[in-house]
Amino acid sequence: MPEKSLAAYEPVVGPEAISQLRQLGDQLKGARVVHVNSTRVGGGVAEILNWLTPLMNDLGLDTSWETVTGNEAFFNATKAFHNGLQGSRFPLTDTMIEAYEQTVAENAERLRGILEEADFVFIHDPQPAYLLELCPNRKGHWIWRCHIDASHPNRLVWNYLKRRVAGYDASIFSMPNFAQSLPHPQFIIAPSIDPLSDKNRELPAEEIDDTMRRYHIGRDLPIVTQISRFDRFKDPIGVINAFNLLNGSVDARLVLAGGGATDDPEGEAVFEEVLLAARGNDRIIAMQLPNDAHRTINSLQRASAIVIQKSIQEGFGLTVTEAMWKSKPVIGGNVGGIRLQVHNHHTGYLVDTPEGAALRIRELLEQPEHLAKIGRRARKFVKHNFLLTRHLREYLTLMLSLRRGLENHLIRVSP
């Protein structure tokens, strides 16, 4: 795949946005930047780093992307951190902490050189957070990027993680509500999508048709889709319940599809629960997709009339952004970053229950013009607020403001 370049985005976002990025890039040219997360495949963070790294390089920064590797015990521990940050109650055991710290320490041996020399280090989510303490001779600014809704964390987990992240120079949260009290500046940067990625680019109609045929999804009825990992926080069972509540009032098919992530050991169990709940209803199609099935997901979203994201906890909800970019109204759970994107009656509907989701599915399918109007607004909203150029601009701005000092309320980028 060719390396991404900013020039390719100009037809989508316009020359002004690209010029602003170039101006910021000129101020940061040559800066050594390292991003660290725990997986290269699957999940929103890996997707973001897939474009963020090459585009920072295109602007003249010297950027690399590293991952921490670990065994099952490590990923079980970090999955527990992840769920704990989202509020799950469970005991945080010494064994978990030991597995976590030992694995990160092993990774630090491999990464210490590049991290200590970097001008800016972005540590994504809790998995690599402990690296800071293991790099005592660090020279640059270290920023902890929390992609998770940490608004009501399990206190045991947060008290542990807070000690790990308090020493950073700054942190980034996706929404003000996600931020926790920390002794350093906490920036608010919403995530974004890449409009030119396989998951979001325009597709030929034939390819969409082929995909639907391949997965035996009939297009004789409108399709309602939830695309997300098989994870209890995404409430796939709630989506099935909502669909069952339609009870023949409108004809539709429900598709539940999602890829796995290498750091998510729970997915298989949840998928089994979904299959069980869908048994006996041939209008419900549940399928697990390979991690690289981006064009398949793109096709499914484009073939859908409505996209659902009925999460009961959500970081930001990039699948919502993706659907809105494809002019689809979204029925989303009234949580997390979904609230930032879905505005009732404007870009979709926020719901708290399967009943609410059923009501809105029915309302939209019965009013095609209303459905189309909401879809158009949704795309426009994403174009202005949630494309990667805005996201990149805010990362660069943060770096510049850390370098120049946070006391300046005016950051002049131009010479």
Partner 1 sequence: MMRAAEKLSMPFEVKDCTLITRMGGVDSAVNFRELRKRIAVCPTECLFHHFCETQIRPSFDDPEFRNDFAVWSARVMRDRVLAERLGILNPYTFDTLELLRETVLDILDERMSELPYIPSAPKDDDFRFMQAATVVFDCGITLETPKDLLDAVPNMSFGSIYYHFIEARRRTENRTDDFTAWLEDCGAACEELSSAFAAVDFYYLTLPRLKTTLVKVIEQFQRRLANA
Residues that bind partner 1 (CB under 8 A): 16, 19-20, 23, 151, 176-177, 179, 181, 185-188, 343, 346-347, 381, 384-385, 393-394, 397-398, 400-401, 406, 408-415
Least distance between partner 1 and beta carbon 20 (Å): 5
Q: Which is nearer to partner 1, 9 or 187 (CB)?
A: 187
Q: Which is nearer to partner 1, 294 or 343 (CB)?
A: 343
Least distance between partner 1 and beta carbon 260 (Å): 30
Which residues pair with residue 276 across a beta bridge? none
Q: Which is nearer to partner 1, 10 or 198 (CB)?
A: 10
Q: Which is nearer to partner 1, 373 or 412 (CB)?
A: 412
Q: Give residue 336's region: left, alpha or beta (phi > 0; psi -120 to 50).
A: left
Cα 336–chain centre separation: 12
Q: In what order do the strands lie in the sheet with 284-289?
A: 284-289, 253-259, 223-227, 306-309, 330-333, 348-351
All residues at 6 or more sequence positions from 48 whose CB lies less than 8 Å from its CB, including other chains: 191, 192, 388, 391
Least distance between partner 1 and beta carbon 122 (Å): 15
Q: Which is nearer to partner 1, 136 or 415 (CB)?
A: 415
To the nearest 10°, report the CA torsion of 283, 286, 292, 297. 30
Q: Give residue 277's region: left, alpha or beta (phi > 0; psi -120 to 50).
A: alpha
Least distance between partner 1 and beta carbon 176 (Å): 4
- Extract the tokens encoding 128: 């690599």
Q: Which is nearer to partner 1, 224 or 342 (CB)?
A: 342
Least distance between partner 1 and beta carbon 8 (Å): 21
Least distance between partner 1 and beta carbon 288 (Å): 32
Q: Which is nearer to partner 1, 225 or 347 (CB)?
A: 347
Rounded to whole angstroms, the Cα distance separating 233 from 378 reads 24
Least distance between partner 1 and beta carbon 335 (Å): 8
Give the three-state DSSP class for 250: coil
Which residues pair with residue 32 across a beta bridge? 62
For 9, phi then psi, to 5°, come to -90, -10
Scan for tokens 């510049």, then name that residue. Answer: 400
DSSP string, 62-128: EEEEEE----HHHHHHHHHHHHHHTT------HHHHHHHHHHHHHHHHHHHHHHHH-SEEEEESSTT
Q: Which is nearer to partner 1, 198 or 394 (CB)?
A: 394
Q: Which is nearer to partner 1, 299 or 341 (CB)?
A: 341
For 288, phi then psi, to 5°, come to -95, 135
Q: Which is nearer to partner 1, 166 or 188 (CB)?
A: 188
- What is residue 127's DSSP assignment? T
Least distance between partner 1 and beta carbon 239 (Å): 22
Q: Which is nearer to partner 1, 3 or 16 (CB)?
A: 16
Least distance between partner 1 and beta carbon 321 (Å): 14
| Other C-beta atoms lying within 10 Å of the C-beta of residue 415 | 6
Q: CB of 103 within 8 A of CB of 78?
A: no
**Strand ranges, E, within 186-259:** 186-188, 223-227, 253-259
Least distance between partner 1 and beta carbon 61 (Å): 17
Q: CB of 364 within 8 A of CB of 306?
A: yes
Least distance between partner 1 and beta carbon 387 (Å): 12
- Extract the tokens encoding 389: 């150029």
Q: Closest by alpha carbon to 253, among 319, 309, 303?
A: 303
All residues at 6 or more sequence positions from 369 whose CB lies less than 8 Å from its CB, including other chains: none
